[in-house]
Amino acid sequence: AAAAGGWRAGRARRRRRRGGEKEEEDDDDEEGGPGTEAVLRRLREARGHSDPRTAALTPPPAGAVRAPLSGPAEPPARCVCYGLGRFGRCPAARYQLAFLLLLLDELRVPPGRCALFDPAFSAREAAALRALGLCLLTENEVSRAPGSAGHRGRGSAVTGSALPGQEGKRGVQGAATLFYMVHCGKALYNNLLWSNWSPAALSKLVIIGNSFRGIEERLLSRILERDYSYIAKVLKGVEEVALPSHPRYLDTFNDTSVHWFPLDKLQELSPEVWDFVEEPMYQDCEDLEIIRKGEE
């Protein structure tokens, strides 16, 4: 192909991460077909098309996600993915993306109704996501100002901002939505809850991400209530099922749970819970794991 004036796919360089895990690294300055095809090939392998060992990951987690959605909960009509990371060169991120694609198949959510945002995506990775039919969000998502059109009032669902993003302030807009947020920062979950702070909106929310119970166990109560008050307030209104562990992917999906919010449980919470609608600011938070708009 090179002799005929075509292109030749270069060999990926590899470097070792801490703990001995290998991270693949490509020439990020090169764009176009070859790089994108290499990313897509690795993704196909992660989905188990070329490596049957990876297929062992998919049935138990997929079943764990389907279980809570098989009851009275409305099945997701769309999906939003935050914080996936550099899946072109990081195996863990690639397996997480492969699992997301399998979930979309299982839940019958068209790829075009799945939106992703991560400022770390390279041009090649963005091209690969578009080739898969997924929707790329290109800006950080922030809330509307209180009192503006579209901002929530007590008991109403948030319509959300028209901007895409990593601050996580996106409303469900009346449609059941799966948020895929594996290993994201606590503030991102807290912002998402705030943006949907009503029984009507939260009941349409499914979150795959860090265990809320784990967050509660690891944080001092005063820190949880001060910095991540919406996580703290919703703990009695959430159902949670941990993804089954897999010895081959302990670091890929560890501490990951499926969360959903049954309407009857939310309605049992005191009215004072829903009266508190202040936007999270994190002014006293020393370990803020979030990318704010303008910091990408």
Each residue's pLDDT, cut to its tens digit, for the chain (296 residues) gives: 223 333 233 333 444 343 334 445 444 444 443 478 888 888 887 776 434 344 444 444 555 566 566 555 677 889 999 999 999 888 889 889 988 998 888 888 999 999 999 888 999 999 999 999 999 987 644 443 332 333 333 333 332 333 333 477 888 988 999 999 999 999 999 999 999 999 999 999 999 999 999 999 999 999 999 999 999 999 999 999 888 777 777 788 888 999 999 999 999 999 999 998 899 888 776 666 655 444 44
46-49 own/partner pairs: CB under 8 Å, 24+ apart? 46/91, 46/94, 46/95, 46/97, 46/98, 47/98, 47/101, 47/102, 48/98
Report residue 268 as tokens. Answer: 């049992």
Beta bridge partners of 208: 180, 258
Determine the pLDDT at residue 266.
Answer: 95
Determine the pLDDT at residue 76.
Answer: 87
**CA-based torsion, 288, 289, 294, 296: positive or negative:** positive
**Residue 95's closest CA among 257, 252, 258, 254?**
252
Determine the pLDDT at residue 284.
Answer: 72
Determine the pLDDT at residue 26.
Answer: 45
Determine the pLDDT at residue 280.
Answer: 87
Q: Which domains does the chain have, with CATH numbers?
A: 62-143+165-273 (3.40.50)
Determine the pLDDT at residue 150.
Answer: 36
* CA 123/CA 38 separation, integer angstroms: 13
Q: Count CA atoms closer than 13 A to 159's CA, side-chain side.
A: 10
Encode burial over 127-144: b for 16+ CB neighbours within 10 A, e otherwise.
Answer: bbbeebebbebeebbbbb
C-alpha separations of 227 from 198, 206, 212, 246, 278 in Å: 20, 22, 14, 32, 12
pTM: 0.76
Place of tokens 């399998």: 102
User: φ, ψ for residue 72 (rounded to 5)?
Assistant: -75, -10
**Residue 165's closest CA among 134, 191, 194, 199?**
191
SS3 label, residue 79: strand
Determine the pLDDT at residue 252.
Answer: 85
